[in-house]
Amino acid sequence: MSDPSTEQTLAGARETRPTMPPPTPEPPRDRPLRDRILDVAALYPESRSAIIPALRLAQEEHGWLPEEAFDEVAEALDLTPGYCKAVASFYDMFRLQPVGRHEVCVCTSLACTLVGAADTLRAFEQELGVEAGGSTEDGLFTLRTVECYGGCGWGPVVAIDERYHEPLPANEVVPLIERLRSEAGG
The yes or no reply on residue 20 touching other proteins (CB under 8 A) is yes
Whose Cβ is closer to other proteins: residue 40's or residue 177's?
40
**Shortest Å, Cβ 34 to other proteins:** 17
Helix (H, G, I), strand (E, B) or coil at 142: strand
Measured CA to CA, the distance from residue 21 to residue 18 in angstroms comes to 10
**Shortest Å, Cβ 88 to other proteins:** 8
Applying CB under 8 A, the site for other proteins has a residue count of: 71
Whose Cβ is closer to other proteins: residue 36's or residue 56's?
56
Whose Cβ is closer to other proteins: residue 92's or residue 182's?
92
**Shortest Å, Cβ 51 to other proteins:** 4
The yes or no reply on residue 64 touching other proteins (CB under 8 A) is no
Do residues 149 and 157 make contact, with C-beta atoms less than 8 angstroms apart?
Answer: yes
Whose Cβ is closer to other proteins: residue 27's or residue 32's?
27
Question: Is the dihedral angle over the CA atoms 36, 37, 40, 46 positive or is it negative?
Answer: negative
Measured CA to CA, the distance from residue 43 to residue 144 in angstroms comes to 33
**Shortest Å, Cβ 185 to other proteins:** 26
Provide the pairing of β-strand 163-165 with 158-160: antiparallel
Do residues 94 and 88 make contact, with C-beta atoms less than 8 angstroms apart?
Answer: yes
